[in-house]
Structure 1
Amino acid sequence: MSPSGEVSTGVIISDVIGKTQTIAIFSGLTRDIDSVSDRLDDASKNATVLAPDNEAMRGLQRKPWEDPEDYAAFGKNAYDGGDGEDRAHKNLRRFVEAHIVTQSPWEEGQRARTMAGNEVWYESKDGKKMIQPGGIEVISIADRVANGEVWIIRGALV
């Protein structure tokens, strides 16, 4: 985004998501999920990326590829072997896709779907944008480019 806040034309989300160090953990995960990396690399498909900052990623109660139900069903070795790797990848894909809103621009109060199929919206409270449900604060908009925006959020949509 230019200093004036204008949209960078010809530049797309996949060009800029890796340059913001405060979301390096999440941006790395977007490259591991084909459905997400394909969308962010497609200039004809707009998106709003709700990127948890590194602090939020480090503070997760469990890793993005873990699911308590997997441990209940398969025990402590739930992610061992080929089947375990498949479960972990499916969980990671669900986590990352839950942070990609399938539209941009995205207006306040407008309910939108993420790639994972979840319904989200945002509202302004006390001068801050809050992602709902969950009340997760939008710290800043890191970039505005031809196919969407990258928002840095202070939490994760889990």
Structure 2
Amino acid sequence: MDPAGPGPAVPPFAPAEPPSGAQGDVVLSDVMGRDRSINLFAGFVRDIESSSRRLDDSSHNTTVLAPLNSAIESLPRKPWEDPRDYSALGPNAYEGGDGQERAQRNLRRFVEAHMVPVSPWREGAKAKPIGDDQEIWWEEKDGIRMIQPGAIEVVSVASTVANGDVWIIKIARNYA
């Protein structure tokens, strides 16, 4: 056994890049597609013009809570589906122009439920995701960062850039 103890541990929340804070540097839109484990969510963000613009704007800080691909794949329905649409309109709720607009609106709600307009986001500080009235916060217990309410585990902080952070989360937030 080494008397000096184990070497320094790298915390799972160490940013992939050092924060720069300078205008014109790397922004969230530049890093969203880097991590393959969240490429489904990154694609959804690109599909929502307002969200994509926000992540490209160095004057709007954001903490992106990007669900793992496996989390999106295991959802009970697609992020663009809403059971209320099926109840009101039947199985063809997303057909045609009106259906595509409904799907786009629902996808926007899903994406915005995962974007917190705060960065840096301090532990315990309550914030409302874009387009969501429910306040959320995060806390760390036993070295695990959890988004509350819902005890959603943060797997890692994938990137820290001029206008925010990308946090990879184990499950998707409730977006209904």
Normalising by structure 1, we get a TM-score of 0.95
Partner of 1:108 in structure 2? 123
Pairing partner for 2:143 from 105, 127, 132: 127
Can you give the 5+ residue segments of structure 2 that lack an aligned partner in the other structure?
Answer: 1-13
Can you give the 5+ residue segments of structure 1 that lack an aligned partner in the other structure?
Answer: none
Structure 1 runs of 4+ off > 3 angstroms? none
Partner of 2:51 in structure 1? 36
Matches within 5 A, 1:29-108: 29-108=44-123
Following superposition, the deviation at residue 133 of structure 1 comes to: 1.3
Q: What secondary structure sits across from 2:78 in the alignment?
A: coil
- In the alignment, the residues of structure 1 paired with residue 171 and residue 163 of structure 2 have an alpha-carbon distance, to the nearest angstrom, of 24
- Amino acid in structure 1 at the alignment position of 2:40: I
Following superposition, the deviation at residue 6 of structure 1 comes to: 2.3
Normalising by structure 2, we get a TM-score of 0.85
Residues 1:129 and 1:116: Cα distance change in structure 2 (over 3 Å): same
- In the alignment, the residues of structure 2 paired with residue 115 and residue 68 of structure 1 have an alpha-carbon distance, to the nearest angstrom, of 22
Residues 1:126 and 1:2: Cα distance change in structure 2 (over 3 Å): closer
- In the alignment, the residues of structure 2 paired with residue 84 and residue 63 of structure 1 have an alpha-carbon distance, to the nearest angstrom, of 14
1:83-112 CA-to-partner distances (Å, cap 9, x unmatched) read: 111111100000000000001000111101
Q: What secondary structure sits across from 2:136 in the alignment?
A: strand
Is the helix fraction higher in 1 or 2?
Answer: 1
Following superposition, the deviation at residue 2 of structure 1 comes to: 7.0
1:108-140 CA-to-partner distances (Å, cap 9, x unmatched) read: 111011112232111112220111111110000
- Bigger drift between 81-90 and 40-49 goes to 81-90
1:16-63 CA-to-partner distances (Å, cap 9, x unmatched) read: 111111100000110000110010000011000000011101111100
- Amino acid in structure 2 at the alignment position of 1:94: R
- Amino acid in structure 2 at the alignment position of 1:12: V
- Bigger drift between 115-124 and 11-20 goes to 115-124
- In the alignment, the residues of structure 1 paired with residue 157 and residue 104 of structure 2 have an alpha-carbon distance, to the nearest angstrom, of 28
- In the alignment, the residues of structure 2 paired with residue 143 and residue 106 of structure 1 have an alpha-carbon distance, to the nearest angstrom, of 14
C-alpha RMSD over aligned residues: 1.4
Is the strand fraction higher in 1 or 2?
Answer: 1
- Amino acid in structure 1 at the alignment position of 2:145: K
On the 8 A contact 2:15/2:158 being kept in 1, the answer is no
- In the alignment, the residues of structure 2 paired with residue 14 and residue 96 of structure 1 have an alpha-carbon distance, to the nearest angstrom, of 14
